[in-house]
């Protein structure tokens, strides 16, 4: 009965050990290559071998020294392997060679000692069993408890029920072995020989069989549950990793699409040879999509057409090696057109994969548009500087015209002979035409304010004949076909002149060699009016026999800075477009290549009575004379003298000064008591507002008349707060005298109210 129970127990241990070995090895190979799994499997291999050696010892007592040596050795190798399993689980990696050597040497020493100590005794005697079982059970118990602690920690850390169940099985097994070791110490009569007749040994064998069966079943359940849980977690991790991989691939696809859709040229270079370029780079360099694969592994200089002296070749590699980045300007060549393209290049080092050479990424930005805009900016700055100069010239010229026109007007009022009167009249007419030219100069310099008034379009065009003839030059015939009746419009005459000049100049530039330009004025046909516009319109047209305009260019003809010529700002037609729309009109163009162009400007007509009213305003001859004491200030002595002569002609008493401090000192000291001050706005020395404030402290309520060769709108920040009346230069004597009279009368009225 004892032998049968012992053999059944050994068979059960062997079967469960083989089962656990198969489970652990399968999991190790297919799911997770963790060190503790392999040591766990080794433990059960050793346990199965030990059970087999005991089986042989029980089955045939005559196996001699071989069976005894195997049983002794395996009996102590198994607990050492148990301990190494626990250490591997605690460390999270394979035990060190020191631990392996130390534990196996201890097991080998224990096996050798027990084997040598048991040799004098028969294998089935009491002495051999006590010598072998007592230390073996103690080693089994301690190693099992170590494994139990390791599995319990593993289960608590990772929240694995299988590890906790396995830890419980290890703990029970360890405690049972310690109890069995203590039982063998207490008993001195247990032996295989005669065990069939020893009820105590039979009962022990039955308890061992039952307890071992429970332990192995619980151990198998725990291991199976542990492997199932870890497999599920591994599967979840695998799925999560797969999702992350798919997301990374999707993101990589997006980045690849971003690189391909980028408007900047992107290239990758390794050891000076091209490894990749995107579509923008291919387009920039003149390659088709089919040619891109053939460019790989070619030298970068050959693909991009980089010149030998290009700084990119000399500096990029050194800067990349030192700092990892480089930025500079280069010139690449388009292989189809041969054009040298300025490119802003940013280079950066790219991390190399293992076994692969380091690469450099290049991002190139086409600078042609930037260069064009920079040139346009420089051109606009030159235009602005020229405009400022033109405005300054107009200001100085107006001062001279003020004197010339003023003295000529005064001379005409004297008793002159008719021939002399005609001569002076011609001088005055020429001066007025010069004043019109200064108005155009101020318009060119963007320093002309908008002055809307009624005027005859025919008269304006007729007045500009001489100027337009100079624009047309000798080899272009300029003709005028003007309406026989007046064409009254209400707009800024100077700006309409600017539009006409721009259109004639544009027509001249469209003619290569000889040609003709026609300027026509007429009343517009109602069919020519925009849809829904019922106003009466007048028009003027500028037609040329030039090269005409392509249809794709025609839609951009009024865009700012748009030009098809190598010279020019592209602002002339856009200015004309803005002026006409500001005047509530329309500008149109009709053109065909090789057939010339016709620009038509439509302007709203005004009531002819407004023309008469405007003329009446200009011919108004109100009372302008007086006898008051006046003070005139201008930094130009000739202008101050003219103002004095002009006003003295109308009876005023005028004192002149060329600087503000002298005038203020004269009033402060009582040398002068002016009833009105006339002053140039932009005199050096005391600023206008400070001068007005100081003068009115000395003479409260003193009216002021301000004059300047610049328009009032551009001087608004200087004039604001002074309360002065403004008159632009050049002016006629009667205009100045009339304004002075109105200012004096208004001042008297205000003083009376006070």
- Report DSSP letters for 348-391, one per residue: EEEPPPTTS--EEEEEEEE-HHHHHHHHHHHHHHHHHHHHHHHH
What is the pLDDT, as a whole number, of residue 559? 64
Tell me the H-state helices in 510-607: 551-554, 572-582
Q: Which domains does the chain have, with CATH numbers?
A: 2-232 (1.20.1070), 262-366 (3.30.450.20), 450-620 (3.30.565.10), 624-753 (3.40.50.2300)
Vertex 542, ends 536 and 547: CA angle to 5°?
140
Q: Over pLDDT 70: what percentage of the chain?
A: 75
Q: Over pLDDT 90: what percentage of the chain?
A: 9
Tokens of 752: 């009376």
φ, ψ (nearest 5 deg) of residue 207: -65, -40
Helix (H) or strand (E) holding 515, with range, is strand 515-523
- Report DSSP letters for 87-105, one per residue: HHHHHTSPPPHHHHHHHHH
Instruction: Compute the average pLDDT of residues 459-465.
Output: 85
Tokens of 532: 């829904």
Helix (H) or strand (E) holding 330, with range, is strand 325-333
Work out the angle between the directed axes of helices 733-753 and 637-649 (0-180°, nearest 10): 70
402: closest CA among 636, 628, 623, 620? 636
Instruction: Compute the average pLDDT of residues 19-46.
Output: 71
Interatomic CA distance for residues 754 and 752, integer angstroms:
5
Helix (H) or strand (E) holding 173, with range, is helix 161-186
- Residue predicted with more confidence, 115 or 189: 115
pLDDT at 339 over 60: yes
What is the pLDDT, as a whole number, of residue 569? 44
- Residue predicted with more confidence, 209 or 344: 344
What pairing do the DSSP bridges indicate for beta strands 340-350 and 359-366?
antiparallel
What is the pLDDT, as a whole number, of residue 566? 45
What is the pLDDT, as a whole number, of residue 440? 54
pLDDT, one tens digit per residue, over 561-588 is 555 554 444 456 777 777 787 788 888 8
- Residue predicted with more confidence, 331 or 422: 331
φ, ψ (nearest 5 deg) of residue 58: -75, -35
Instruction: Please provide the average confidence, as pLDDT, over all residues in the chain.
Output: 78
pLDDT, one tens digit per residue, over 260-318 is 888 899 999 888 888 888 888 888 888 988 888 888 888 888 888 886 566 666 677 77
> What is the arrangement of strands in the sheet containing 597-604, beginning at the earlier edge strand?
476-481, 515-523, 537-544, 597-604, 586-591
191: confidence class by pLDDT, cuts 50, 70, 90: low
For 17, the 3-state DSSP assignment is helix
Burial class (CB in 10 A: 0-12, 13-18, 19+), 652: buried
- Residue predicted with more confidence, 470 or 116: 116
CB neighbours (10 Å) of residue 321?
A: 12
- pTM assigned to the model: 0.41
The DSSP secondary-structure symbol of 465 reads H
6: confidence class by pLDDT, cuts 50, 70, 90: low
621: confidence class by pLDDT, cuts 50, 70, 90: very low
Are 380 and 569 in contact by the 8 Å Cβ rule? The answer is yes
The DSSP secondary-structure symbol of 449 reads P
Are 31 and 231 in contact by the 8 Å Cβ rule? The answer is yes
Residues in the chain: 754
φ, ψ (nearest 5 deg) of residue 625: -80, 160
pLDDT at 523 over 80: yes
- Residue predicted with more confidence, 719 or 194: 719
- Report DSSP letters for 18-85, one per residue: HHHHHHHHHHHHHT---HHHHHHHHHHHHHHHHHHHHHHHHH-GGGTHHHHHHHHHHHHHHHHHHHHH
136: closest CA among 195, 50, 219? 50
676 Cβ neighbours under 8 A, 6+ residues apart: 628, 630, 631, 702, 703, 704, 705, 740, 743, 744, 747
Instruction: Please provide the distance, in angstroms rounded to a whole number, between the alpha carbons at the two ends of the chain.
Output: 144
φ, ψ (nearest 5 deg) of residue 159: 55, 55
Interatomic CA distance for residues 566 and 703, integer angstroms:
55
Tell me the H-state helices in 551-702: 551-554, 572-582, 608-618, 637-649, 660-668, 688-698
What is the CB-side half-sphere exposure of residue 747 using CA atoms within 13 A?
22
pLDDT, one tens digit per residue, over 129-185 is 778 778 888 888 898 899 889 888 888 888 888 888 888 888 988 898 888 888 777
Vertex 321, ends 315 and 325: CA angle to 5°?
70
69: confidence class by pLDDT, cuts 50, 70, 90: confident
Interatomic CA distance for residues 56 and 439, integer angstroms:
129
List residues bridging with 343 in a β-sheet: 330, 366
Tell me which residue has tokens 């009820």: 199
305: closest CA among 339, 345, 272? 339
pLDDT at 596 over 80: yes
36: closest CA among 161, 141, 173, 153? 153
pLDDT at 3 over 50: no
678: closest CA among 696, 655, 710? 655
507: closest CA among 569, 617, 598, 571? 598
Interatomic CA distance for residues 19 and 246, integer angstroms:
38
């Amino acid at each position: 009965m004892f032998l049968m129970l012992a053999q059944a127990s050994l068979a059960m241990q062997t079967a469960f050990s083989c089962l656990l070995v198969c489970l652990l090895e399968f999991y190790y190979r297919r799911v997770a290559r963790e060190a503790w799994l392999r040591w766990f499997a080794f433990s059960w291999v050793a346990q199965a071998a030990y059970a087999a050696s005991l089986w042989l010892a029980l089955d045939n007592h005559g196996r001699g020294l071989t069976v005894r040596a195997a049983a002794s050795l395996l009996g102590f190798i198994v607990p050492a392997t148990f301990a190494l399993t626990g250490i591997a689980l605690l460390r999270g990696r394979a035990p060190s060679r020191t631990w392996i050597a130390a534990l196996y040497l201890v097991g080998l020493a224990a096996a050798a000692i027990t084997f040598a100590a048991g040799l004098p005794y028969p294998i089935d005697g009491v002495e051999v069993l006590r010598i072998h079982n007592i230390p073996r059970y103690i080693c089994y118990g301690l190693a099992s408890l170590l494994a139990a602690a390791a599995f319990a920690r593993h289960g608590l850390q990772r929240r694995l029920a299988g590890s906790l169940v396995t830890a419980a099985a290890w703990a029970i097994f360890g405690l049972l072995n310690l109890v069995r070791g203590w039982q063998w110490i207490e008993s001195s009569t247990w032996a295989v020989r005669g065990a069939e007749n020893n009820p105590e040994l039979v009962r022990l064998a039955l308890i061992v069989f039952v307890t071992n069966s429970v332990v192995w079943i619980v151990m198998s359940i725990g291991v199976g549950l542990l492997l199932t849980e870890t497999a599920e977690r591994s599967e979840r991790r695998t799925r999560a990793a797969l999702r992350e991989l798919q997301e990374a691939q999707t993101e990589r696809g997006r980045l690849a699409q971003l690189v391909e859709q980028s408007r900047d040229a992107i290239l990758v270079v390794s050891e000076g040879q091209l490894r990749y370029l995107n579509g923008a780079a291919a387009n920039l360099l003149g390659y088709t999509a089919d040619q891109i694969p053939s460019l790989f592994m070619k030298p970068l200089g050959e693909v991009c057409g980089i010149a030998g002296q290009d700084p990119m070749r000399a500096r990029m590699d050194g800067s990349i090696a030192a700092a990892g980045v480089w930025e500079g300007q280069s010139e690449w060549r388009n292989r189809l057109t041969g054009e040298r393209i300025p490119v802003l290049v940013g280079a950066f080092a790219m991390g190399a994969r293992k076994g692969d050479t380091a690469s450099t990424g290049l991002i190139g930005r086409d600078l042609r548009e930037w260069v064009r805009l920079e040139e346009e900016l420089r051109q606009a700055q030159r235009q602005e500087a020229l405009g400022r100069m033109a405005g300054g010239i107009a200001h100085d010229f107006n001062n001279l015209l003020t004197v010339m026109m003023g003295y000529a007007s005064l001379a005409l009022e004297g008793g002159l002979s008719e021939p002399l009167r005609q001569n002076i009249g011609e001088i005055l007419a020429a001066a007025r035409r010069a004043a019109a030219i200064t108005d155009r100069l101020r318009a060119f310099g963007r320093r002309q304010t908008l002055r809307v008034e009624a005027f005859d379009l025919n008269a304006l065009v007729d007045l500009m004949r001489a100027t337009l003839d100079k624009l047309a030059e000798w080899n272009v015939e300029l003709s005028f076909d003007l309406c026989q009746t007046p064409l009254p419009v209400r707009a800024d005459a100077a700006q309409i002149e600017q539009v006409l000049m721009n259109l004639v100049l544009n027509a001249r530039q469209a003619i290569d060699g000889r040609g003709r330009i026609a300027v026509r004025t007429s009343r517009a046909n109602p069919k020519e009016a925009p849809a829904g516009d019922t106003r009466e319109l007048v028009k003027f047209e500028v037609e040329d026999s030039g090269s005409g305009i392509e249809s794709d260019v025609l839609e951009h003809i009024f865009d700012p800075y748009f030009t098809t010529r190598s010279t020019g700002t592209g602002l002339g037609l856009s200015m004309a477009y803005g002026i006409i729309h500001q005047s509530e009109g329309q500008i149109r163009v009709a053109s065909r290549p090789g057939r010339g162009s016709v620009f038509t400007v439509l302007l709203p007509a005004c009531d002819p009575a407004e023309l008469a009213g405007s003329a009446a305003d200009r011919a108004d001859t109100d009372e302008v004379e007086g006898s008051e004491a006046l003070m005139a200030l201008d930094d130009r002595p000739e202008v101050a003298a003219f103002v004095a002569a002009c006003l003295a002609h109308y009876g005023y008493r005028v004192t002149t000064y060329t600087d503000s401090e002298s005038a203020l000192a004269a009033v402060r000291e009582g040398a002068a008591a002016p009833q009105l001050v006339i002053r140039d706005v932009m005199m050096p020395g005391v600023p206008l507002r400070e001068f007005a404030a100081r003068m009115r402290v000395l003479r409260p309520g003193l009216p002021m008349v301000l004059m300047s060769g610049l328009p009032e709108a551009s001087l608004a920040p200087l004039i604001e707060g002074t309360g002065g009346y403004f008159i632009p230069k050049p002016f006629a004597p009667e205009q100045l005298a009339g304004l002075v009279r109105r200012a004096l009368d208004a001042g008297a009225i205000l003083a009376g109210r006070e």
